[in-house]
A and B are shown apart, each in its own frame.
Chain A
Amino acid sequence: MTDFEIALDACLAGLQDGALTVEACVARYPEHAARLGPLLRAAEAARRQAVDLPSPVFKGRLRAQLLERGSGRAAPVFSRRLLLRPAAALTALSLMLITTGTAFAQAALPGNVLYSWKLASERAWRRVAIDSVSVDLAIARRRADEWIAVATDTALGAKTFVEYREVLERVLAADSDENHARIQAELEDQKSRLAAAGLTPPPFEDLVPPNEPLEPVTPVATTYLGTTATPNGFPYTPAPESTPLPAPPADGAEPQPGPSPAVALTPIAPPP
């Protein structure tokens, strides 16, 4: 910044305050007088420039316009929007995660992290379904497929088998004249798919509806004639040949009669 600019600025401030005149300023800075004079006169001309005042009519009209615009503006919109924006984003994100997660979980197999999510989604599916039999049949098909997929893992195979059987029990409990044909068709299909994989499902006709008490589980197969194993080592009993042992007496009571020869529930225990 030059001395001249400082002198000019001081003079402009003086003119503005009314404390100085152009002549007084020029006299105060004689070394800059030749340059200061014209600029200060130009400044005075610019300062003297007339400035119109707004008309009261215009002033009132614009005020009314602003108030009119303001009346349609809800005061809390700002804060509400601020709050709603992250909430909406969070909701959208949650929905996206749930949807994506659920979709991914549908492919999960027993032992996978998302498998319990899959089971939970199936429970939700059943709750909202109008036709629960169809849902149970679909779930049964899933369990059968899962069993095939994890059959080489003894522990998982056993676990999946139990779950499959539970679904089958539900399906068979819903067996009626109305549903019989489709249940039969679907279960036969599952049976053949399992057989193709070297697995044998529990005999459908032996499954007890869940609202009835299950028969006591027959002791292990070592004492059990006719017990054999599937290629994956999972025990099952061909129904016609099997003769289940009576349940061991509890506190010395008479042994309970086992299921009829045709009803041979397979002991579910993974092979050693």
Chain B
Amino acid sequence: MSAVTTRPLEQAVDNESSLVRRAKAGNAEAFAELYDAYMERVYRYVYYRVSDRQTAEDITSQVFLRAWEHIRKYRLDGSFLAWLYTIARNAVIDNYRTRKPVVSLDDAVPVASKAAPPDEVAELRVESESVKQAMRNLTDEQHHVLTLKFIGGYSTEEIARQMEKRPGAIRALQMRALQSLAKHLEIEEE
């Protein structure tokens, strides 16, 4: 378990385009290198969306298998990781459509709390569960924006590019998402 650490888009692997080209030509080793570089980020994105380890593993597997299957369709003009996130987002949506909602029993507690006393750990666990519940009330777009921001480490402009929207639309989306979270977490205005 780890706390949220952001990894900006710029941290893409140096030879990404070369690896992608080779992978597009059918080179499995090149695709494996891309997998090594991005798997963890994709998994974290998925986990943040579904809050369940088993589901996150299943969806992450689907993401990379789909990516490998369709890599020929990938255009080299974008970020490979952004493409993976798009596949992941669609896989998450598919998962919600085809499966019953999973109420995670994972003991997902922020890392910062590991050294905390038991009372605090329990409190954090309750908070964590509340946040998960609150996040389930977000729309897919709102959840996607917050996940890209908090887990992907993307700026508003980068998210806008990736979602093919204007930055203003992304700011409005994140504001509504946070309003919804605050409401469900019963955080009142001061």
Contacts and interface: CB of A to CB of B under 8 A. Distances in A.
A216 interface: no
A52 interface: yes
Contact of A59 (B39, B174, B175): B39
B32 interface: yes
B128 A51 contact: no
Given A5-B171, A66-B32, 4 more contacts: A45-B127, A52-B43, A59-B39, A79-B25
Contacts of A6: 171
A49 B172 contact: no
B131 A49 contact: yes
**Which of A5, A45, A51, A79 has most B Cβ within 10 Å?**
A51
Interface of A: 1, 4-6, 8-9, 12-13, 16, 33-35, 37-43, 45-54, 58-59, 62-63, 65-67, 69-71, 73-79
Contacts of B172: 1, 5
Contacts of A58: 57, 60
B53 A35 contact: no
Contact of A39 (B6, B28, B150, B175): B175
A3 B163 CA distance: 23
Contacts of B57: 54, 58
Given A1-B172, A16-B6, A70 B26 contact: yes
A222 to B, nearest CB: 81
B26 A73 contact: yes
**Which of A34, A75, A76 has most B Cβ within 10 Å?**
A75
Interface stretch (B12-20, B84-92, B95-103, B180-188): B180-188
A47 B148 CA distance: 11
B61 A62 contact: yes
B108 A50 contact: yes
Interface string B1-42: 111101000000000000000001111110110011001100
A9 to B, nearest CB: 5
A147 B136 CA distance: 88
Contacts of A52: 1-2, 43-44, 47, 53, 56, 106, 108
Contacts of A78: 24-26, 72
A39 B182 contact: yes
Nearest to B187: A38
Contacts of B48: 49, 51
A266 B124 CA distance: 116
A152 B85 CA distance: 79
Interface of B: 1-4, 6, 24-29, 31-32, 35-36, 39-40, 43-44, 47-48, 53, 56-57, 60-61, 64-65, 68, 72, 106, 108-112, 127-128, 131-132, 134-135, 146, 149-151, 153, 155-156, 168, 171-172, 174-175, 178-179, 181-182, 185, 187-190
B25 A41 contact: no
A5 B175 contact: yes
28 contacts: A1-B171, A4-B175, A8-B175, A38-B190, A41-B187, A42-B134, A42-B185, A47-B4, A48-B4, A50-B3, A50-B108, A50-B109, A51-B2, A51-B4, A51-B151, A53-B40, A53-B43, A54-B40, A54-B60, A59-B39, A62-B39, A65-B61, A66-B35, A67-B32, A69-B65, A70-B29, A70-B68, A78-B72
**Which of A35, A38, A71, A79 has most B Cβ within 10 Å?**
A38
B6 to A, nearest CB: 6
Contact of B36 (A48, A50, A63): A63
Nearest to B45: A51
9 pairs of A and B residues whose beta carbons are closest in the complex = A70-B28, A75-B26, A42-B181, A42-B182, A50-B108, A39-B178, A1-B168, A38-B182, A5-B171
Contacts of B189: 34-35, 37-38
B168 A53 contact: no
Contact of B178 (A43, A54, A70): A43
Contacts of A49: 4, 48, 108, 110, 128, 131-132, 135, 150
Contacts of A54: 39-40, 43, 56-57, 60
B160 to A, nearest CB: 11
